[in-house]
Chains A and B, each alone.
Chain A
Amino acid sequence: MSGSHVHALYRHGRSPLHLAAPQVKIVAAFGLVFAIALTPRTALWAFVVYATIVVGLVALARLPLFFVARRAVVLIPFLLVALLFPIIGSGERVDVVGVSLSQQGLWDLWNVVAKAVLGFTVAVVLAATTEVTDLLSGLDAVHMPRLVTSIIGFAVRYVDIILGDFARMRIALASRGHRGRSIATWGVYAKTVGAVFVRTYERGERIYLAMLSRGYRGTMPSAGAVPVPVVQWGLAFLLVGSAAGVMAVSRVLL
């Protein structure tokens, strides 16, 4: 049960970033990612500054590089698509080790790689230093609509149970001699998914009844906001402010 999927992004620790208030980290992470995304791709110096900041955050969170690199696997599909840009791009072409590549496409590739890797690393730092429950209370504290945080909360709470249902049904199939190796057996899996869907729907109804029984009337009660030390907000605004400054200068110099 505790080998849960949604909690695997978190890494236990007591670094300053682990201890910071979730709403501060959320605001800082979004601010930083926005600044990075809005920076012109040709401002190489700006990306060097961002990379320094991001590496600094990884160090501050005391995350091993291997941990971050392993998470980065999810970027591979995006990067593979981006690799096509120089080949299929139009405009002026340059020769790189004998291959004719589009200059425009190379800049596009750089743009995707730099922004994806930096933005992704910020997200990894946020997820690795903030438990899911704290992320939810942080989103609540920054006035994300309660409906949205409730939906995320329900997804987090029940995804393991649903996957557990599916896993048990697969074991039950295998225990009755089912071997799912050929395409011919996909129909069985389709029915399993259908059965899990129906069970999940019924569970949803039971959850709703249980909520009604405890006085639910359509709005979730708010979690009392924990006050955040001013110094944390100060540091977050310093971080976001510096990144925004770099972004502004890079756009002016463009």
Chain B
Amino acid sequence: MSTPVIEINGLGFHYPDGTAALVDVDLHIHQGERVALLGPNGAGKTTLILHMNGIHLPQTGSVAVSGYPVTDGNLLDIRRRVGIVFQDPDDQLFMPTVRDDVAFGPANLGLAGRALEERVDQALAAVEVTDLADRPPSHLSFGQKRRVSIAGVMAMQPEILVLDEPTSNLDPASRIDLTGILDDLDVTQLIVTHDLLYALEVCERSVVIDAGRIVADGPTREVLGDEALLSAHRLALPAGLKIEDLDSL
């Protein structure tokens, strides 16, 4: 099998106060996969993704991206390969205009001039926000901000796109738009969410994490069909829906 884009083995992480955030985590994600990372609040989802781009370095175990171990020495290369879209777009969009913001990542990678412009234009077009390029981020709707923050990460041409709660606070129409856009992006994706319907809609594989441990990893339909598993880890389909009910919709 090919080298996984993300290869995590035996990863452990404790916060300074001793709280175990991740315990013996194994996770492999291969090129072209679209994986949902599910778990209740405080399960360790965000801590795990911050290990994928070296914001946190492994205390025990190892993290490798496309075969390169995440170490202090290759952080820029790792961060180019792993693009994280954070939950609150206002945390991510800090430059004065949309165009400047999308250029921030590739400029950090050393792109300049025409090459930088082309990269920015491609990323803006990929998420259909070309017409917003000269607007300040504060003037955008929430859905537009979300798309622009995806463009800012896609402009770095990552090997894997990690999205932290991409559907939170989106209205239904923006959510549908987002699904279409993510479908069209030709990149491996890890979608962190507790929106189980969304996971079912867009991800063929789901990984469930709770209390810092991976407790399930399999096809999304099977994972979401296991009611005992879901209720044991504070997850549920909306208002008592069952996976079979969704098939008839």
Contacts and interface: CB of A to CB of B under 8 A. Distances in A.
A213 B109 CA distance: 12
A213 B97 contact: no
| Secondary structure class of chain B's binding surface, majority of residues | helix
B238 to A, nearest CB: 27
A221 interface: yes
B88 A206 contact: yes
Interface string A203-214: 100110111111
Interface stretch (B7-15, B133-141, B179-187): B133-141
Q: Which of B50, B97, B137 has the most CB of A within 10 A?
A: B97
Max chain B Cβ within 10 angstroms of own Cβ: one of A4, A154, A160, A224:
A224
A154 B94 contact: yes
Contacts of A132: 96, 136
B144 to A, nearest CB: 11
B79 A215 contact: yes
A214 B95 contact: no
Contacts of B136: 7, 132-133, 157
B100 interface: yes
Contacts of B76: 215, 217
Q: How large is the interface on A (under 10, 10 to 19, 20 to 34, 35 or more residues)?
A: 20 to 34
Interface in B74-92: 76, 79-80, 83-84, 86, 88, 90-92
A213 B55 contact: yes
B138 A212 contact: no
Contacts of B107: 221-222
Contacts of B108: 214-217, 221
Given A214-B104, A214-B105, A157 B138 contact: yes
A153 B138 contact: no
Contact of B80 (A2, A207, A211, A215): A215
A223 B100 contact: yes
Nearest to A208: B91
> What range describes how many residues of B lie at the interface?
20 to 34
Interface in A162-210: 203, 206-207, 209-210
B139 A221 contact: no
B110 to A, nearest CB: 9
A9 interface: no
A160 to B, nearest CB: 6
A206 B79 contact: no
A207 B94 CA distance: 8
A213 B155 CA distance: 13
A161 interface: yes
Given A133-B96, A153-B94, 11 more contacts: A1-B138, A156-B96, A157-B95, A203-B90, A210-B84, A210-B91, A213-B83, A214-B105, A215-B109, A221-B104, A224-B113
Interface of A: 1-2, 4, 7, 132-133, 136-137, 153-154, 156-158, 160-161, 203, 206-207, 209-217, 221-224
Interface of B: 50, 53, 55, 76, 79-80, 83-84, 86, 88, 90-92, 94-97, 100, 103-105, 107-109, 112-113, 116, 136-139, 152-153, 156
13 contacts: A133-B97, A137-B96, A153-B96, A157-B96, A206-B91, A211-B104, A212-B79, A213-B53, A214-B79, A214-B152, A215-B105, A221-B107, A224-B116
In the complex, the 6 A-B pairs of residues with the closest C-beta atoms, listed nearest first: A221-B107, A215-B108, A214-B105, A133-B96, A206-B91, A210-B92
